[in-house]
Amino acid sequence: MTGPLAWLTLCQGLFLTNNVTFMAINGLVGLALAPAGWMATLPLTAYVLGGALCTGLVARHQQRFGRRRGFQLGLVVAMVSAGLCALAALQGQFWLLIAATVLAGYYNASAALYRFAATELVGPERREKAISWVLAGGILGGVVGPPLAQATRDSLAVPFAGAYAALVGVAALAMFCVSRIDFPRLPAAPPGRAGSLPPGVARRPAFIVAIAASALGYGVMNLLMAATPLAMAMCSHPFSSVAWVLEWHVLGMYLPSFFTGSLIRRVGVLPVLVAGVVLNAVCVAVALSGVDLMHFTVALLALGVGWNFLYVGGTTLYTEAYPASHRLAAQALMDRWVMGTMTVTSFSSGALVTTGGWSAMNLGALAPLALLAAALVWLARSRGSAAPATPP
């Protein structure tokens, strides 16, 4: 791994430390502060909604200021928003917490582009591995995030306020890492309407399926992961067990990245995407079989690995589907779909788990998985029909 790619991988790890800490505590803080139980996951929803709303803004800022300054701006927002979250927890202000997590969405949208920026630091022949290696930095989030939330839970007067405050330091460390990377200059924005793609690009099967794999894969993962702390609390599991399950889930999300890129190059992107759907189905089956600690652990581990195959595979497929001159518009479009889907699932998870229960939520996850499976069949058939005929 080259030096710039290693620094970017560390940035990804620090970003996931932020995300995992948010996922571990936002629902619980929301449950303590929300006027009604079904609103408990609104801080999670606000975080991804803020990201969805900021994708276009982040793309414009990166086009104007470049990758490095664009990423640094995202980290400044991360520090400010984490401080506001701590203040909201200390003062018991639910709506301030919502506003702060919406603001944090800018950082979410900014750091989501690390995986695309990785492909600009290497040659085309190493694109899959660059995406995979940078996403592997998320292992740091799995190792550090839950213990950080646990260690700082009671460091201030109100539970978890200290965890939010610690994220200010995490973002400051990431700021240093970004400053060590010299990103290639982005090409000038193409003429025409800002943010637009050339005609026909968005109708390509690879373009559509890549977005579907990333968005639906992330949506199902987010639906179940966001509800896990609440579901485990409802099943009388202590927070230490929640942290354990989330740690294994995040390791499942990012540990496979050490070989996912090589696997895609060896067997192709389509089989890896199919394996991702199958692993998501395994997660649902295990979750429906019981609510012991081991059931939660195995289900969330399978969910994490399935997400990895869908997200790395979807991103790799996507980089082949748009012209390089329109990369920022295309990347913003994908992340808008991903975060928009996550917004819906974050909101739905709180309502489903507090009203219908853990089993109903898992059964509901089968619908998007079936839709994604159908999309993969469509892509396989479109590629088959496009193949040249074999001479007699």
Nearest to 301 by CA among 339, 245, 260: 245
Contacts of 19 (CB under 8 A, 6+ apart): 108, 141, 145
| C-alpha dist (Å) from residue 382 to 66, 213, 241, 273 | 37, 16, 45, 16
pLDDT of 189 reads 65
State the CATH class of domain 3-181+200-383. mainly alpha
Tens of pLDDT, residue by residue over 295-347, are 999 999 999 999 999 999 999 999 888 887 788 888 889 989 998 898 888 77
Helices vs strands, H then E, count in the chain? 16, 0
Q: In this predicted structure, what is the pLDDT of residue 392?
A: 35
Supply the pLDDT for residue 390. 39
Domain extent listing, the chain: 3-181+200-383
- What's the CA gap between 45 and 388, in Å, rounded? 46
Q: What is the reported pLDDT for 135?
A: 86
Q: With a cut of 70, which residues of the chain have pLDDT below it? A: 1-2, 38, 189-196, 385-392
pLDDT at 391: 38
pLDDT for position 337: 92
